[in-house]
Structure 1
Amino acid sequence: MAEQRFDMIVIGAGPGGYVAAIRGAQLGLKVACVEREHLGGICLNWGCIPTKALLRSAEVFHLMERADEFGLKAENLGYDFDGVVTRSRNVAKQLSNGVGFLFKKNKVTTIMGEARLAGNGRVVVTRKDRDDEISAPNIVVATGARARELPGLEADGKRVWTYKHALQPPHVPSRLLVIGSGAIGIEFASFYNTLGADTTVVEVMDRMLPVEDAEISAFAKKAFVKQGMKILEKSSVTRLDRSEDKVIAHIETGGEVTTEEFDTVISAVGIVGNVENLGLEDLGVRIDRSHVVTDEYCRTGVDGLYAIGDIAGGPWLAHKASHEGVMVAELAAGQEAHPVKKANIAGCTYCTPQVASVGMTEAAAKEAGHDIKVGRFPFIGNGKAIALGESQGMVKTVFDAATGELLGAHMVGAEVTELIQGFVVGKTLESTAEDLSETVFPHPSISEAMHESVLDALDRVIHI
């Protein structure tokens, strides 16, 4: 087959790659996107979207169990687990198909196959029956990442799972062990715990949700324990003894090893970049701990070659990947583009209660040398939260005492993954504590807790 020439080739159709391809096409570039498995990548098919669909089912079930609190009656409560999983898969399929529609709409050429860089702007695409070569002066590597597996704790899909197995489980867990309390681990722990699994979470760091502000982590832990979860911090799983219907976990805490029996284990101990078999090393691309090293514009040091999203390092978030995709497409089209400011990217965890944050924690701000002012406001002082029956939560804000700069915002509670964007906009616009204090927030809304946390930092809080 004759070589096909494009203006930009994107390898990977996840939230970074497909957005880059669409934006490039919008700017008049002839774009091809190579994908080996699913349009939408892990996020739409096996990550962000289907997990949120599962968590929504668990949230509704949790509310059903609380019917009496709202003056309602609900009897013989239960769930159809196959129905819950089917809904999740249908949501993922709908959005994956949507990417295909957007590609057609924007005239992006879709090529299903395995891509390998061949140098000089060339890409070889391997399909079942042949190899094709395509070329472009701009190539974007957006191949994402996969679950990290530790020696001896590898997933088998039967009793030990990764996130993929947990989304289409072979059985409903009764006694569940989750290894790792980051976003992925705690979301699955929250989901299965709500549906009745006896859930234990093991975290090697000194606290669960270790990237979050310590105060928020402590609040979330208290809520999870109240829901029946067992949280083991400063602990590690050293061995798994597997049999047909159970797993014996060897758990080390403070130098002492105990054993406990589970019927299911979910390993959520981080991710590994998909850097293999791409030809990156042959081109002299630097790889550090399975991630491509780039500059602030996602350039790899090889002319015309970019790397975006999870393969280019943290934060490992779909919205970060998408924003990078827009940036590199605009660079490829000869436009001026602004680098992504990682300090202004929010992190969201969709457990119950939800957790969200942006910017520096209190400890990080102090370590960076800031003299700080900290504001806090509990949901129990917010009328809308009480009316919703969601009074367990809090908002915490961190400001530079001298300049009023918003350094960080941290939340736990209902709908905080939606609320956090208010502070993201504030940071992006370089708003100060005074600016935010003078902003009028709607009443009644949970967002008023954001306002009150700012006022608290200024010693002007009203409702506590």
Structure 2
Amino acid sequence: MNEMKVNTVVLGAGPGGYVAAIRLAQLGVDTLLVEKEYYGGVCLNVGCIPSKALIHVSKSYESIDKMSVFGVTAENRQIDWAKTQEWKNGVVKQLTGGIKILVTKNGAKVLEGAGTLLGTNTLNVLAADGTETKVHFENLILATGSSPIHIPTFPVGGRIIDSTGALDLTEVPKHMVLIGGGYIGLELGFVYRKLGTEVVVVEMMDTVLPGFDKDVVKAMTRKLKKDKFKVMTGAKAKSYRETENGLAITVEHKGKDVEIETEYLCVTVGRRPNSRNLGLENASVSVNDHGFVDVDKQMRTNVPNIYAIGDLAGQPMLAHHASYQGEVAAEVIAGHHAEDSAKTCPAVVFTDPEVATVGMSEDEARAAGHELTIGQFPFAALGKAKASADTEGFVKIIADKKSEEILGVVIVGHNAGDLIGEATLGIEMGAFLDDLSLTIHPHPTLTESLMEAAKKAKGQAIHVLN
């Protein structure tokens, strides 16, 4: 068995772990990054990046038909799916390869293998070839991420797939059933629907995107119907049987059992933290009933020299949140004053239209005791949106009625994920409605929608009636 000593070990090279390792090295801390499978984690390999690549392809494919409104037509529209997958995999390879280079060039060391805690200062790393290395450390950052939740009734394999499998299909199926109408399921659903797949969404709750703003749910429900998804809410997938061409899924819906024949069944019912099989018990690291590791604002666990970040440390389970926490942990270990002091964290759903939110929802703000003023501005009233023939959606600003402080922003529409950045900065800086309404925004752009929504909340909108 090999042995080595290091100041800080980062276990997991996802968007939290590799960022932490880079920042630690920049701060002069002797750092070792341990990764068993994916540089870049789930996000870059089988999540954020490959899914957005396929989303871009599917939107581009669909846009060929939509461009007829501009007078642009094309004949014999086709897609070479093998080439699409090759391109997507190339994007992933470039980004993940770049991460390892960034880590090592910044001065951190890398060790490939699965890490298991032996105590509060020792980690055993088992490489794929069976080689074991005992690593002695002063500090440890746990950044092991999360995995798709699997339903025992529908074991993943063959034509039953999870989100990872859905990104690597070798064909565009004629039919697909999605168990789960949350953001992961709908993102994948829109990819394949745009490419011609008949998509059925089975959601146990009463709406798709449960937990989102009611106006978001309303807009998404309308779009799913327009795009001819079959959506079954308040429904439960019970069992399956194999058929000659795929599967037959039994779904309980409205008090009756319905059988749906499909080529693929994709299970997208959420994710769970990777807190098992890490040897956390050997170091007495506390794990709550949901499998998350509890941390304080400096990302410390109950064991002072062990930190946890990203999906392992709880909600929101988002890549950019993990990166932020990774930098916080690195700064703390390097002896700097740092803590997770962010007021809010934006979230984006890359459906069509996109959905982006930040801050409090309308319901959360009311529950917190705020009397509200709300400004909602439709993209249909915006020059840039009309000029692009992309007018679905709206910007909704939620503010305290008395102080006019902005509490939350909801955006549904084209490039919502890019637009939410301005709203996030505004909330982080304690912006008021006038900070947006009186700021000159460039014309014609989609960013004008934020200015107009702020004006609408004050009863001063120019391009829609107040």
**TM-score of the alignment, normalized to the shorter chain, above 0.5:** yes
Query: Which whole-Å CA distance do the structure 1 matches of 2:109 and 2:200 have between them?
Result: 46
CA deviation vs aligned residue, 1:182-208 (integer Å, no higher than 9, x gap): 221111000000000011112212211
In the other structure, the counterpart of 1:32 is 32
Over the aligned positions, Cα root-mean-square deviation in angstroms equals 1.3
**Structure 2 gap segments, 5+ residues each:** none
**What is the number of equivalent residue pairs in this alignment?**
462
In the other structure, the counterpart of 1:129 is 130
**Deviation at residue 254 of structure 1 after TM alignment:** 3.2
CA deviation vs aligned residue, 1:421-452 (integer Å, no higher than 9, x gap): 11000011010112221111111001111111
**Deviation at residue 88 of structure 1 after TM alignment:** 1.0
Q: Which moved more, 1:280-289 or 1:111-120?
A: 280-289
In the other structure, the counterpart of 2:318 is 317
Q: Which moved more, 1:378-387 or 1:437-446?
A: 437-446
Q: Which moved more, 1:285-294 or 1:21-30?
A: 285-294
CA deviation vs aligned residue, 1:132-174 (integer Å, no higher than 9, x gap): 1112211001011110011202211x21111111111143221
Query: Which whole-Å CA distance do the structure 2 matches of 1:2 and 1:281 have between them?
Result: 23
In the other structure, the counterpart of 1:82 is 82
Q: Structure 2: which amino acid aligns with 1:197?
A: T
**Deviation at residue 101 of structure 1 after TM alignment:** 1.1
Q: Structure 1: which amino acid aligns with 2:70?
A: F
Q: Structure 2: which amino acid aligns with 1:314?
A: Q
Query: Which whole-Å CA distance do the structure 1 matches of 2:144 and 2:387 have between them?
Result: 45
Query: Which whole-Å CA distance do the structure 2 matches of 1:463 and 1:77 have between them?
Result: 38
CA deviation vs aligned residue, 1:365-394 (integer Å, no higher than 9, x gap): 112221111110101100000001101111
Query: Which whole-Å CA distance do the structure 1 matches of 2:386 and 2:232 have between them?
Result: 31
In the other structure, the counterpart of 1:48 is 48
- Conserved 8 A contact 2:2-2:132: no
**Deviation at residue 340 of structure 1 after TM alignment:** 4.4
Question: Do structure 1's residue 379 and structure 2's residue 379 form an aligned pair?
Answer: yes
**What secondary structure does 1:232 align onto?**
strand
Query: Which whole-Å CA distance do the structure 2 matches of 1:435 and 1:352 have between them?
Result: 30
Instruction: Please give the residue correspondences for 1:423-438 in structure 2 after superposition, counting only pairs within 5 Å.
Output: 423-438=423-438
Query: Which whole-Å CA distance do the structure 1 matches of 2:210 and 2:454 have between them?
Result: 24
Instruction: Please give the residue correspondences for 1:101-250 in structure 2 after superposition, counting only pairs within 5 Å.
Output: 101-127=101-127, 128-156=129-157, 158-243=158-243, 245-250=245-250
CA deviation vs aligned residue, 1:295-341 (integer Å, no higher than 9, x gap): 22221110210111111111110000000000000000000113143
Instruction: Please give the residue correspondences for 1:357-396 in structure 2 after superposition, counting only pairs within 5 Å.
Output: 357-396=357-396
**Deviation at residue 2 of structure 1 after TM alignment:** 5.3
Query: Which whole-Å CA distance do the structure 2 matches of 1:373 and 1:7 have between them?
Result: 51
Query: Which whole-Å CA distance do the structure 2 matches of 1:285 and 1:351 have between them?
Result: 38
Query: Which whole-Å CA distance do the structure 2 matches of 1:79 and 1:320 have between them?
Result: 35
- Conserved 8 A contact 2:299-2:339: no
- Conserved 8 A contact 1:159-1:245: no
- Conserved 8 A contact 1:7-1:136: yes
- Conserved 8 A contact 1:190-1:352: yes
Query: Which whole-Å CA distance do the structure 2 matches of 1:337 and 1:463 have between them?
Result: 44
In the other structure, the counterpart of 2:63 is 63
Q: Which moved more, 1:380-389 or 1:147-156?
A: 147-156
Question: Do structure 1's residue 459 and structure 2's residue 459 form an aligned pair?
Answer: yes
Large movers: runs of 4+ above 4 Å: none
**Deviation at residue 257 of structure 1 after TM alignment:** 2.2
Give me the TM-score of the superposition, normalised by structure 1: 0.97
- Conserved 8 A contact 2:332-2:339: no
**What secondary structure does 2:118 align onto?**
strand
CA deviation vs aligned residue, 1:97-150 (integer Å, no higher than 9, x gap): 010110121121110001011213211111223211112211001011110011
**Deviation at residue 244 of structure 1 after TM alignment:** 5.1
- Conserved 8 A contact 1:140-1:308: yes
